[in-house]
């Protein structure tokens, strides 16, 4: 499986990163070794001193798809959860400065914790969903799918023009504003609406 991630999909987050609001989705990938499930602990890596949380809506691909039309895109994902696109912001800043790829900052082991899957059939209005992240019980990020620059269906269609989608692939759809550092001993909890789907303790 592969993890496809979207960068800068909320105007306010692009602004906080001092980045331009994109006219096309910004895409990058994480390998399967980045995926972390079952609410495991996250072990703070020794190569960074500034790991940031980015809470995101995450889609689960349910069938093979290539150059999928946007109007049929909904058929290609069957579940949603929330995930954390954990980012070594110090390394990313160096990569950006030198115009280098982001993998070391974004795609390291366990950099993509995801929560429990909710079937799309149980989701009332995918265009108006809330997500949030609490750090030690305090809300640090919250957002709505209504504020996505590129919708879920548009992203599935767009991504599938470049990368064939396979069953089990996962799409991280971008983070709203409010990204910030995590520290050892933090408890991170992520919510889809009111429902807590993901918990991880930072070690």
State the number of binding residues for Mg ion (CB under 5 A). 3
Please, what's the largest Cα pairwise distance for the chain? Answer: 45
Q: Which is nearer to Mg ion, 175 or 189 (CB)?
A: 175
> Which residues, other chains included, contact 39 with Cβ-Cβ below 8 Å and sequence gap of 6+?
115, 198, 199, 200
Q: Which is nearer to Mg ion, 160 or 175 (CB)?
A: 175
Comparing C-alpha atoms, which of 94, 112, 110, 6 is closest to residue 50? 94
Nearest residue to Mg ion, by Cβ distance, number only: 85
We find the least distance from the C-beta atom of residue 55 to Mg ion, in angstroms, to be: 9
Q: How far apart are CA 178 and CA 169, in angstroms?
A: 27
Asked if 85 touches Mg ion (CB under 5 A), the answer is yes
Q: Which is nearer to Mg ion, 66 or 111 (CB)?
A: 111
Q: Which is nearer to Mg ion, 57 or 76 (CB)?
A: 57
Q: Which is nearer to Mg ion, 157 or 175 (CB)?
A: 175
We find the least distance from the C-beta atom of residue 200 to Mg ion, in angstroms, to be: 16
We find the least distance from the C-beta atom of residue 7 to Mg ion, in angstroms, to be: 6
Q: How far apart are CA 53 and CA 63, in angstroms?
A: 29
Asked if 175 touches Mg ion (CB under 5 A), the answer is yes
Asked if 169 touches Mg ion (CB under 5 A), the answer is no
Asked if 54 touches Mg ion (CB under 5 A), the answer is yes
Task: To the nearest 10°, report the CA torsion of 112, 116, 120, 122.
Answer: -150
We find the least distance from the C-beta atom of residue 28 to Mg ion, in angstroms, to be: 9
Cβ atoms 174, 144 nearer than 8 A = no
We find the least distance from the C-beta atom of residue 110 to Mg ion, in angstroms, to be: 15
Q: What is the gyration radius of the CA atoms in the chain, in angstroms? A: 16
Q: How far apart are CA 38 and CA 2, in angstroms?
A: 18
We find the least distance from the C-beta atom of residue 173 to Mg ion, in angstroms, to be: 9
Eight-state DSSP code of residue 46: T
Q: Which residues bind Mg ion (CB under 5 A)?
A: 54, 85, 175
């Amino acid at each position: 499986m592969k993890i496809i991630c979207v960068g800068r999909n909320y105007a306010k987050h692009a602004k906080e990163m001092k980045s331009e609001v994109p006219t096309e989705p910004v895409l990058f990938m994480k390998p399967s070794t980045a995926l972390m499930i079952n609410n495991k602990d996250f072990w703070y890596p020794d190569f960074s001193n500034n790991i940031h949380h980015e809470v995101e809506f995450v889609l689960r691909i349910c069938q093979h798809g290539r150059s999928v039309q946007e109007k049929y895109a909904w058929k290609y994902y069957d579940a949603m959860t929330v995930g954390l696109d954990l980012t070594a912001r110090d390394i990313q800043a160096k990569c950006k400065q030198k115009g280098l790829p982001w993998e070391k900052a974004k795609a390291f082991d366990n950099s993509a914790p995801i929560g429990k899957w909710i079937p799309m059939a149980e989701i009332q209005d995918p265009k108006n969903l809330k997500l949030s992240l609490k750090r030690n019980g305090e809300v640090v990020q919250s957002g709505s799918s209504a504020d996505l620059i590129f919708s879920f269906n548009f992203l599935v269609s767009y991504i599938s023009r470049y990368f064939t989608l396979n069953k089990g692939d996962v799409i991280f759809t971008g983070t709203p504003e409010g990204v910030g550092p995590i520290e050892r001993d933090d408890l991170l909890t992520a919510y889809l609406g009111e429902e807590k789907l993901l918990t991880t303790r930072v070690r």
